[in-house]
Amino acid sequence: MTSCRSLTRVAIAASIALVSSVTFTSGFAQDAKPADAPLTALPYSPSLDQGSMDPSANACVDFYQYACGGWQQKHPIPADQSSWSVYGKLHDENLHYLWGLLNEVSAPRADRTPSEQKTGDYFAACMDEGVIDAAGAKPIEAALQRVAQLKSPKDAAGLIGWLHLTGTDNAMFRFGSDQDYADSAQVIPIADAGGLGLPDRDQYLKMDAKSKDIRRAYQAHVARMFELLGDSKETAAGNAIVVVAMETDLAKSSLTREEQRDPHKIYHRMSFAQLKKTAPHFDWATYFRALDVSTSQSINVTQPAFYKKLDRLLAKRSLADWKTYLRWKVVDAQAANLAKPFAQANFDFFSTKLRGVEKMPPRWKTCVRAVDRDLGEALGQVFAKRTFAPETKQRAADMTRAIEVAMEGRINNLDWMSAPTKKAALEKLHSLVNKIGYPEKWRDYSALEVKPGDFFGNVQRAQTFEARRELAKIGKPVDRSEWGMTPPTVNAYYNAQMNDINFPAGILQPPLFDPKMDDAPNFGNTGATIGHELTHGFDDEGRQFDARGNLRDWWTKKDADEFVKRTSCIVDQYSGYTVVDDVKINGKLTLGEDVADFGGTILAYVAWKATTAGQKLSDIDGFTPDQRFFIGMAQWACSNVRPETLRLQALTDPHSPSRYRVNGVVSNMPEFARAFSCKPGQPMVRDKVCKVW
């Protein structure tokens, strides 16, 4: 139950898993273990595993340790991972499985389907490291030459448009398409803040020792990249100073992640004329022509202050500075797709320095992920028939419906919400669309050319294909059948503007969804995941969108004030938890996910009780049904995380660490205290219980 947030806007989409990954439900082999070789069957792991527990721990003192202590002991973090979790392990096992499946179609043969040909040729080209390394920096020479030919900062618009279409999509700013917040049936252009290299704007501005150390290391990394491009050591060092200074200026005018959680702060609809007035030193007409986007469209300029700052930099900074900055953007965007020295340097900073990862993953793993990234629905189409049974889809649909019924009951019985707000909330609930497994209509990749032996070319053509596909939506009605995740993904999400919850095939498999288990752990695990996504429609962000996905206040003032008061309890609770060293959870940043964790677990519990009403439930392996529900709920979250990653997540991740996503929830639930006979005063029994949904 964590987040990928890979959709168009952070503010309108929320998801469940820290790992955005690829996997399928398929045949399971008991005790099979992934080695550095493809798997032909997926290992089976139960959704409730006694061996993952720590029987020496007291459930009422630290339930996470009680449920997951054994798992943590048995599963140290692999050298190529920033963390290791139930989700991460499932992701890794499925990468091994998909490796085998891609090997099958990577060999040329006459009977391959178009999807098999594209995914197979893409994978094979990615695996040919010899060709990739021999090319050095040659694949980005065309982009670097275009930067070198720039005549003035004001002439940069055409170049920026071309860069945005060819993979360097974070040069100066970001641009794309999105549903209109005021009219969710339509797609409009979105001009977003961007231009930074570090993961978060605060990393440029905070003055603590750790932040300063990161900035020094980042500047050294930028210099290293310039040296790989051929600059002398002295020139590279000077160029790095320029880049970091320019990015710092942009960071100062960028909204914080907390501020971006308020959709009103990132929705500023402007005409083309207003955009030109906001940043007159940028040739917007040339830029729009480069993207083939009409200037007649209204544009969501998410952060006007950012564009005003960018405009000042265009007027103030020299041509040489802008060329230096854009050279950096080109190599930074494509480093992972270039020869080993570039990929290694990129890994050393972004993975080792920022996240503590010890070594690069094997090449096959990188290439499986690349296929899912660039040809995800082709990959899903190739394997869906093998991997996702209709009965699994039906069982997931039934569970989802049970949880929706539970939510309806919760809304009707709320003692703090008035009738008008309840009516609007129920309208939104009843309008919710459930998407399970894979899209009804597969994405058409026929226009994307995949050439054998041309990895970088394939990557760049895929980047351009996706950029064009997104831009082509502008001015057209929203396609509500579209998915924001690929079918193989081990994740789930809610989209506030679509008002849909999405569960790809990848998440509906053991140990997250286990057909061999009784309902108690399944509802605790997958049921809480479904409830989590549903609750996102009614968290601090999602509640601001109506049943049709429009940004509209459907709350009475009294009810809205009461909601804020109740969620403030959760902010205060989670802000008291320590992430690592002296770093606390930012309860305002994690509020939406914390509310979803809490609400999702309550909904799953209520739905489980209703589903099993009238049944005689027996103890199993010494645990009562209620205990099995809560253990199942906790064991999705078993994990180990490197301290560097924890520190970065505290700054950038809208989810609390796994321990608190479990303990923070159960300590608010009297049902848990009864299940484990916890007494007042014990850590898992809060004196002040938070109640929202």
- Active site (catalytic) residues: 533, 597
- Tell how strand 433-437 and strand 500-504 pair up: parallel
Among 578, 584, 595, smallest CA distance to 690 is for 595
Give me 416's structure tokens.
Answer: 């703090």
Q: What is the distance between the alpha carbons of residues 492 and 494, in angstroms, rounded to a whole number? A: 7
Alpha-carbon torsion (636, 684, 588, 350), positive or negative: negative
Tokens 């040909």 — which residue? 117
What is the SS3 string spanning 153-197? HHHHHHHHHHHHHCCCCCCCCEEEEEECCCCCCEEEEEEECCCCC
Query: Residues near 237 by Cβ (< 8 Å), separated by ≥ 6?
Result: 223
Q: What is the distance between the alpha carbons of residues 439 and 423, in angstroms, rounded to a whole number? A: 31
> What is the amino acid identity at position 261?
R
Q: What residues are paired with 437 via a beta bridge?
A: 504
CB 409 within 8 Å of CB 606: yes
Question: How remote is the C-alpha of 271 from its chain's centroid?
Answer: 31
Tokens 């993904």 — which residue? 489
Q: What is the distance between the alpha carbons of residues 566 and 224, in angstroms, rounded to a whole number? A: 49
Q: What is the distance between the alpha carbons of residues 113 and 170, in angstroms, rounded to a whole number? A: 35
Say which DSSP state 600 is in.
H
Residue 678: which region, alpha, beta or left (left: phi > 0; alpha: psi -120 to 50)? beta
End-to-end CA distance of the chain: 18
Interhelix angle 319-334/233-252, rounded to 10 degrees, is 90
Q: What is the distance between the alpha carbons of residues 82 and 69, in angstroms, rounded to a whole number? A: 19
Burial of 21 (0-12, 13-18, 19+ CB in 10 A): buried
Query: Residues near 294 by Cβ (< 8 Å), separated by ≥ 6?
Result: 288, 474, 475
Q: What is the distance between the alpha carbons of residues 342 and 95, in angstroms, rounded to a whole number? A: 24
